[in-house]
A and B are shown apart, each in its own frame.
Chain A
């Protein structure tokens, strides 16, 4: 079953780092998995715990692409969301869902290579984990 399984990923992308990197990946034809739901956000700090939970209810994995630490345009947005991801990990552990389904990545604004490579690795890891057991029945 795992072989046919296509993980559904939501990627929250900060418009100062993740989003330009995603654009560069597309323009440069760096391959990343099809069907990733890219959501533009003004700062990774705008991602709330409930956004991550809802995205996970609808899919198999959530990736957050944020600016490098100490390079946040809003000073601490990326650090605050890193703490939210830790909080969500605890909730996921409590309910028996693999915490590896939620990942946060820090990258520069023009790193299409890293963006595409990271998503490929994340996709493969999710494929190995299998479908999210907590996901809504389709």
Chain B
């Protein structure tokens, strides 16, 4: 899922500026699960903003609404009436949600209240870590299901660099060496010979280097 983190409140207050009627729109999917922008976080942010503005002697009126998803037209349509009566919309969704609102409501001023951080999973309650770089050309079949793009700090594709020590990455002794994880996993699977196969230079045009990406499925179009 998409992992995010609320921006510092002062940064959010600076975005709101002098506006005194805002809508905080959460998202009930990824950012709700990673506790950055679900309905609970919307309420906490609303409360913090109200108190900050009361402290400045500039009370603010805040509406709250959290659709199940903020990245699909059908779900953001339910925000219509609230957006109409708001000066500003603070989106607590990922960057996709923010842009969905901007495209659906071009007349609205929409600001992000969450930093979209990475694609990952909850390792345990309260701990999230990156698992996928969305490179558009998955190699997990060759690496025992462990992604070298995000688990290796240098995104190496043909084994580790020389900096790892005791299975830990040279960037931080708390970070596992991605290639050590891959080696251990392939050993368990009895597929260590995968490591002898050379991966050619990766075609990064399917990733961020290829410009904005788009998928069109003619069979699914209406």
Q: Which A residues are closer than 8 A to B by beta carbons? A: 48-50, 53-54, 56-57, 91, 94-97, 132-137
Contacts and interface: CB of A to CB of B under 8 A. Distances in A.
A95 B53 CA distance: 9
B47 A54 contact: yes
Given A133-B54, A137-B54, A91 B59 contact: no
Bin the interface of chain B by size.
10 to 19
B40 A95 contact: no
A95 B59 contact: no
15 contacts: A48-B40, A53-B47, A53-B48, A54-B43, A54-B47, A57-B47, A91-B48, A94-B48, A132-B51, A134-B50, A134-B52, A134-B55, A135-B51, A136-B54, A137-B59
B196 interface: no
B205 to A, nearest CB: 42
Given A56-B47, A57-B50, 17 more contacts: A49-B44, A50-B40, A54-B43, A54-B47, A56-B51, A94-B9, A95-B9, A95-B13, A95-B51, A95-B55, A96-B52, A97-B52, A97-B55, A134-B52, A134-B54, A135-B54, A136-B50
Given A48-B40, A50-B43, A50-B44, A134 B10 contact: no
Contacts of A50: 40, 43-44, 47
B18 to A, nearest CB: 17
B51 A134 contact: yes
Contacts of A132: 51
A95 B52 CA distance: 5
B49 to A, nearest CB: 8
B24 to A, nearest CB: 13
A136 B52 CA distance: 11
Contact of B55 (A48, A53, A54, A133): A133
